[in-house]
Each structure stands twice: as C-alpha cells, then as structure tokens.
Amino acid sequence: MKPFLLLLALSTSILAADKPNIVYFLIDDLGYADCGFNGGQDIRTPNIDQLAKEGAILKSYYVQPVCSPTRSALMTGRYATHTGVYNVVRPGAPWGLPLNERLLPQALKEVGYTTAITGKWHLGEFQADYTPTRRGFDHQYGHYFGALDYYTHDRDGKTDWYRNDKPLVEEGYTTHLVAKEATRLIREQPADKPLFLYVPFNGIHSPHQVPDSYTEPYKHLPKLRQSIAGMLSAVDEAIGQVTAALAEKGLRENTLIIFSSDNGGPGPGSATMNTPLRAGKGTLYEGGIRVCSFATWPGKIPAGITIDEPMHAVDWYPTLVKLTGAPATQALTPDGLDIWPVLTQGAKSPHAALLLPGMAPDKMALRMGNWKLLLNASDKDAEESKGKEATSGKMELYNLADDIGEKQNLATSKPEKLAEMRARLDALLSDAVPPGGVTESPPTKKGKKGKGKKR
C-alpha cells in the first residue's frame, strides 16, 4: 500500500475507534410501568433492568401517540408538524416519510458508520425509494408494518418479511429472529467501523402471541396480561442476547444503548400498565406519549441516576449527529435539541417549550416546565371515547408537578397561564404542514391517507 493510502487507512481506523457504537431498542406498545426499572412488579425484565441500572432512567421522555410518527421523529429529529407523519402509514398507503428528509442513518454513514435496522420500519414502502436500504441503511431485516402474525409473518393475508428490502420466506418467532439477526450483525461488524444498530421490535404489539414457555411463570395473571408478560419476557431475553453479543465482541464499553417504547401502552390496567399516568396509546395524555426509557454508556453516562428533565424522541437526532461528528448542515432544520449535557452533566432540559403533536394537526399538546396544555384532546380517555371527536378548540391545562395523573383541569382557574401557553403553541404551529402533505423531492405520486383500524 502506498504511504499516503496507508496513512489514510490508519486515520480512518482511529476515527472509527473514537466514535461510539449506537444501539437503539424500540419496543412496540410497551406500558410506562411494565418494566421493573420503571415500577413494574408483575413481569420479570432482568436484562432490561440491568441496563437501566447501568445508566440514566429518563422519567420524562416523550414520543408520539402511535407508531409511525415516533419512528419519523427518531429518524429525522423533526416534529410531525414538519414531516406530515401524524398518523400510521398503512400497507399500500401511497405516502410515507418524505424523501426530502435527511435520516439519521444517512447522516451517520457520512462519518463511517455501518447502519442496520432489524425489526419494524413503518415509514413507507409503496415505492422503492421509501424503503430502508434507500433511506440510509446498509442492512435491513424484518417487517414494514405492525400487527403481523409472529409466526407466519403475515399481515392481512400477505407476508410482511424482508431482508435488504427483498421478500423473505422464513420460519420462526419474530422476536427471536430479530435478536438473531442483530447478534449476527454485531459479530460480523468490522473492527475498524462503528455500528448504528436500530432494533425496533414488533413485541409487544398485538396479536398477542408467544411460545407457551414464556407464559408459564405468569399463570396467576389474567389471560391478556399473561400474554403481554410472556411477550415482554421474550423481548427481555432478546435484549440480553444482543447485549451479550456486544460484550463478546468487545464493544460494550464503547456502545451507547438507548431504550424506549414507541408510544404509551394500550389498554392500560388490563393489557399494559401506565401507572401513574392517565390513559394510553393514541392519546395526548401522559399515558399516551410519556414512555419508559433509559440511556446507558459505561463511563460516559453516570450509572444509577434518574433524570426528570423533559425530552423528546426528536432530540436524539441532533444529539447523535453532534456526538458522532456527522455533518450538521442540512436543508431541513431539526426541531430536536442536543440533550447530551442533560444525560452527562446534570443540565436542565434545553427546551423552554416542548411541542407534543397529536394524530392530527388540530390535536396538540405543549409542555412548558411543569405545565402542560392540551388542545382538542379526547373528551374522555381514548379507551372510553370510542372515536368521538372532542369539541373544537377545547383546552385543558395541568400542573404535572402536582398532578401527574392529569385529574384536575386548571384551564378555567389559571387563565393567564392558559393564554401564555396557547400563544406559544400557536406560534409553534404557524408553519405546520398537513398530514402526508409536504412537498417531496424527488417527485412522487400524491396520495390520500391510508385507511384501516390497525395501528
């Protein structure tokens, strides 16, 4: 090798060694209090709990009310009000995460990362340009949508299982297969390249299917809760396997591990546990958008701490871009902010106001300090409202410091605070785009929102 090429190779290897590996575990439909580390008592999650103990538990970590919008926020660092991804991208829907968005794997590839997704994509597939390997991922394995059968990998009579965006016929329980692929990628990762591994499990989303051996310890629980417990146990086992693979490869000490749910748990109190939060999946109440989460990196993030500063899924994009030295200049400005000082130095949240978009442009929430404003949230919790729309313009105001369960609406008794927050919300919504209606580049077909009941 010529001297200058050898020097270039050596410098690239040194730079790669300085960059952390990043593993993001995204659990589907996990309740706020389902895991032991966040108050759960009836399901054993030893591997998850150990990772949480080794890092920082994020007590006020926000996502979106349902699947696709959270994934969009993670990948772009931008709110649904700017991407148009307010709701779920359904099979065959002629839209997806806009192609003019720069995704996290694209940014990380620019600084030498191997990028991989093993699990659920859920951001569009109606054209090839919307699939993971066209959006920055070197490796893709798993499914495009939710609610698939855990054994046949079918949804609505069609197999939803792919490797590198090519249809794949394969047997096995999906949680096991996702873990197996993730560990394979870790073991085969070149020593001179950092790894970004995104592991969005379809567990514990319905259908509630799991091998009988996982439900045996939970026979004392109601039937639905038995299934949830078994499914979460399988996810916990999978996370243990991935963590073990990192250790075996000698990567654990230089790996940032992030864990969260994609939305609040559905069926709170029967299927999942969101205690002490109100409501669950699909709502703008805390139980729908505030989820269990942690971040751990040995020697970088202090172990055994709890952080209650508000942060959102959009914050990981700018945080990881800065942490890895990826180019920050881009056409579309992220809404997220760098939370690394919050995680490592005890800093306050960088957000003076945290926008919490709902499943439509007229359903929004805003958190400022401990105050939370809700606009057009459901008249009742989503589990009770049966799809009825709230009165247009209805506002609710809660002080989360005193009322984390959002039981006392202070909108009438605190008119000045209400007016202040409504004005801030209106300002943040001044450039909001319609659902799926942003201009995309390169040009794609214009389409209507997908239909269906599954999320």
Q: Which residues are catalytic?
A: 67, 122
What is the DSSP secondary structure assignment for residue 442, as one 8-state letter? S
Peptide bond into 69 cis (omega under 30): no
Whether the Cβ atoms of residue 35 and residue 273 lie closer than 8 Å to each other: no
Measured CA to CA, the distance from residue 192 to residue 362 in angstroms comes to: 48
The values of phi and psi at residue 359, to 5°, are -90, 5
CA-CA-CA-CA torsion sign (214, 292, 356, 405): positive
How many other C-beta atoms lie within 10 A of the C-beta of residue 333?
Answer: 10
> What's the Cα-to-Cα distance from 229 to each of 35, 49, 57, 187, rounded to whole Å?
10, 15, 21, 29
Residue in 363, 264, 343 with CA at minimum distance from that of residue 301: 343
Q: Are 265 and 318 in contact (CB under 8 A)?
A: no
| Separation between Cα atoms, residue 449 and residue 124, nearest integer Å | 12
| Tokens representing residue 451 in the block | 């239909």
